[in-house]
Every structure is written in structure tokens, then in C-alpha cells.
């Protein structure tokens, strides 16, 4: 399997200490992507090597997060890893773009997911502008599949890039989604796929909070803002 690295995190799985495993490779070309080094990385690790990392961390974590890249490009590896993670009593989380609804459906059918963070990158009808691919309908289908499983907690998150999104875009996006949490994330202009975005100012955290307050009335779940300055904040 292709694995770009791991880290221990207290924020990637809300309320749980987790081991985050970054699965390499992604078919999208999101202009603001900040994990550029993972897009075509071919670093290989065996299941036994990754299993050993999980075992070494198991005594002080509650969960394992499979992130990326786009983990669903390696469905067989995900099934193998999540099955093992569940077998030793840890919780599971998937970070995904949601472009492979059939693969998400397979994981749901197998009962391998506890938590999904779904990156909704733009209003569904405007996906090509941000990602280079017209896959909004796939993402919407994935969202509905996850919401139909009452055993899985769904966070939807969007990285707000001032030159790619308008405030109306974010409002329309939030009006068209359903989940337990919506997180509006601060764009970072370092190490991004499109060099032109390095010249775009990072959104002011106070302005980002105002935007989250603006969209909160149209979302039934919890609304959060995530910034470098203040971490995660719940919008009351």
C-alpha cells in the first residue's frame, strides 16, 4: 500500500486521541491542496509495517484516521486496515473527498466506519473550477449514503479560498448539505498545488468566523471554524 506518513493527533477525531495515517495519491487537482507531496507519492509499506505502527500506538490512542491524499484509491488496503483496527477495539475515521460513492458504500456495508470527514470543496455544480473534475454529483451521493447510516458520524468541511469561493458560494453549499458537523477551514497559502495561490492572503480568522455565523442558520448540525490562530471554535 502507498503510505506517505503518520502522526499522532488530538484534533482529527473529535474527543479522541488518534493515529493519523496519510495514504498517498489522489486523482484530483485541487488548486489549494496543501498535501502536494502525497499526490503522486509511491512510497510503499506492507500491511505488517502499518499494523506495527498501529500496535505501537494502541495503548495511548482511541482511534485511527485514514487520511490522504485520497484513501479510497486503495480500497483493499482500507478494508484490511479498518478490519484490523476494529478487531483491536479502536475507532475508525475516514477522511475523503467523497468522489467514490460505491467504495464508501462498500465500507458502510461492512460496518467499518465510525466517523467520516467529507471534504465538500465547492457548491456541487461548481466542482470543476476548484478541483479540475466535474465530480460534484458523486460527492453528493456519498454524503447521502453516509447520512443514511445512523452508526456513522459525518463531518462536512470546506476550505475557504477567497479567490475561488464567494460568500454566496459558501451559503449555497451549506444550504445543500446535511451532516452532524460543518467545519469552515482557513486556507493556507504555503505549499499549495497552484503557485498563484501563494499570493492570496490567508483569510482573517475574524472574517471567517463571521462567514460561519452567516451560514449557521441554514445548517441543522454543529458549525465550526478552524484557523491557525484559534484552532477549532464552535459557532453558538
- The pLDDT of residue 32 is 86
Q: Comparing 37 with 54, which gets the higher pLDDT?
A: 54
Residues 6+ positions from 217 with CB-CB distance below 8 Å: none
Q: Across residues 115-126, what is the average pLDDT?
A: 95
Q: Across residues 155-170, what is the average pLDDT?
A: 95
pTM score, two decimals? Answer: 0.95
Q: What is the CATH number of domain 3-234?
A: 3.20.20.70
Least confident of 5-14, 37-46, 222-231: 37-46
Confidence of residue 191 (pLDDT cuts 50, 70, 90): confident
> What integer best gives the mean pLDDT of the chain?
94
Crossing angle (nearest 10°) for helices 136-147 and 101-109: 20
- The pLDDT of residue 177 is 97
> Three cell numbers at 93?
475515521
Sorted by where each begins, the domain ranges of the chain are 3-234
Q: In 177-193, which positions are buried (b, 16+ CB within 10 angstroms) versus exposed (e)?
A: bebbbbbbbbbbeeebb
Amino acid at each position: 500500500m502507498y503510505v506517505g506518513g503518520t502522526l499522532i493527533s488530538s484534533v482529527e477525531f473529535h474527543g479522541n486521541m488518534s493515529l493519523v495515517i496519510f495514504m498517498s495519491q489522489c486523482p484530483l487537482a485541487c488548486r489549494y491542496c496543501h498535501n502536494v507531496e502525497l499526490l503522486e507519492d509511491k512510497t510503499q509499506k506492507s500491511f505488517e509495517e502499518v499494523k506495527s505502527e498501529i500496535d505501537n500506538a494502541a495503548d495511548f490512542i482511541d482511534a485511527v484516521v485514514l487520511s490522504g491524499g485520497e484513501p479510497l484509491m486503495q480500497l483493499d488496503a482500507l478494508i484490511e486496515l479498518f478490519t484490523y483496527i476494529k478487531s483491536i477495539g479502536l475507532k475508525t475515521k475516514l477522511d475523503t473527498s467523497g468522489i467514490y460513492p460505491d467504495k464508501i458504500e462498500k465500507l458502510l456495508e461492512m460496518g467499518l466506519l465510525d466517523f467520516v470527514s467529507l471534504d465538500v470543496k465547492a457548491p456541487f455544480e461548481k466542482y470543476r473550477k476548484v478541483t479540475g473534475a466535474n465530480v460534484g454529483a458523486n460527492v453528493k451521493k456519498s454524503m447521502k449514503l453516509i447520512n443514511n447510516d445512523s452508526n456513522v458520524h459525518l463531518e462536512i468541511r470546506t476550505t475557504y479560498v477567497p479567490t475561488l469561493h464567494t460568500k454566496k458560494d459558501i451559503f449555497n453549499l451549506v444550504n445543500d448539505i446535511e451532516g452532524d458537523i460543518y467545519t469552515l477551514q482557513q486556507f493556507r497559502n504555503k505549499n499549495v498545488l497552484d503557485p498563484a495561490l501563494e499570493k492570496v492572503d490567508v483569510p482573517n480568522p475574524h472574517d471567517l468566523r463571521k462567514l460561519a455565523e452567516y451560514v449557521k442558520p441554514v445548517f441543522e448540525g454543529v458549525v465550526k471554524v478552524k484557523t491557525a490562530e484559534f484552532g477549532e471554535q464552535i459557532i453558538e
